[in-house]
Structure 1
């Protein structure tokens, strides 16, 4: 149901086994280590940020805020702001992070808020995985979406079955799953009804159950292997996903 636009705010706080400088590097360089490749922000207040945003706070490595009004392709009423606060813990060996995503959703507020809130948890978990296991290794990033059939209510379940992921494989479990090249070992680092995260020695593979919000299932691969090939990863997982929903 379409609803009138209104404000939203999503707030998360966490500690991570990384220095404030390492967290700052991860969230400002835009390499694709935990999100996706994007143009780094201009390092100054008033500078240009990702996706047409403007930098409204820039205090390395403690505070970074970007803000955009009238997101391209969406009503000019739309407002989007990302606010990151980073503080040292344990003498600077760890970091505490406060992340606030706020703005205005124009249509279908409840559905948009639910999707953004759950995606936030998954993305920030992936940030912690990246900082703990892979930073600052170079990354080859690939992302892709499934066909229209992957919008079905049970689409993510179909992906889990195709992976041969057992129903009781909880976060922390070492598993053997089936991907484009056959069986491979991984650790389940995230799993709920909406997302699955797998970690290998050289990669983070993320499965997005966006079918819950009226969109196709998605996959992202953050590959840190020295010979990583993003295009090959994209093509392989695209074929795999097409076979799942053939």
Structure 2
């Protein structure tokens, strides 16, 4: 890994520094906008990326209310979050990811993380605007495919029952087989990613296939409601695997 290569983002939120700190410094907070996290009393933790894919880590540095760094003591890879209040209200979050792999494909790895963080920080902004203060039940599903993003989108849109030409701001009804329909608004739409905000929370569907390590997944944030996590995850996982059987 290279300690010199870094991904940096600066995001403004209409939220207090205390709200932003809570969202980036605990397991329940990270689960609100990222993926399900479990964190222990000594700073050890595990993130669930779906489909049995988990990643362990720990808190490497912590300045209460201001700065926290996650990583692994045996690796230069790290995620740093710095929280700063704005004079005119709101909060700036400064984020740095370091420790990218060396090699010819490091640029592809960088791009993959960059677009992923764009979505996740958008999730946090949506949470503060529409669901602030509500607890989250977060579900993640995952599979793999050799298809590219355009072919994945064709299959995803058919499986969700939405127009392939759906755009940001459109009202949609998702009709995934085996799950209740979802009525909402498209709040995120870029190549390879569809995000829908509904009354109960946020639903994200993404896949870059051959352009992104073969992955395709969905993430569901239910705010203020508590669906059966195991049963609902299983239903979404079954739906995803019906469209994209795991391929190695």
Same fold (TM over 0.5): yes
Per-residue displacement from partner, 1:110-160 (whole Å, max 9, x unpaired)?
2211211111111111121222222321222211113x4x33112233112
Could you say which residue in structure 2 is the equivalent of 1:217?
Answer: 216
Could you say which residue in structure 1 is the equivalent of 2:116?
Answer: 119
Per-residue displacement from partner, 1:180-199 (whole Å, max 9, x unpaired)?
33532111111111221111
> Which of the numbers 14, 26, 30 marks the counterpart of 1:29?
26
Map 1:57-96 onto structure 2 (within 5 A): 57-60=62-65, 62-70=66-74, 78-89=75-86, 91-92=88-89, 94-96=90-92
> Which of the numbers 45, 48, 68 marks the counterpart of 2:43?
48
Per-residue displacement from partner, 1:64-108 (whole Å, max 9, x unpaired)?
2234243xxxxxxx421212122223554x112111111231453
Contact 1:54 1:67 in 2 (8 A): yes
Relative to the length of structure 1, the TM-score reads: 0.81
Greater CA drift, 101-110 or 80-89: 101-110
User: How much does 1:10 deviate?
Assistant: 0.9
Indicate how the Cα distance of structure 1 residues 49 and 91 shifts in structure 2: closer, same or farther if over 3 A, else same.
farther
Relative to the length of structure 2, the TM-score reads: 0.81
Map 1:190-209 onto structure 2 (within 5 A): 190-209=188-207
Could you say which residue in structure 2 is the equivalent of 1:231?
Answer: 230
Indicate how the Cα distance of structure 1 residues 64 and 161 shifts in structure 2: closer, same or farther if over 3 A, else same.
same
> Which of the numbers 6, 11, 15 marks the counterpart of 1:14?
11
Q: Write 1 or 2 for the structure with the bigger share of strand.
A: 2
- The count of residues paired between Structure 1 and Structure 2 equals 227
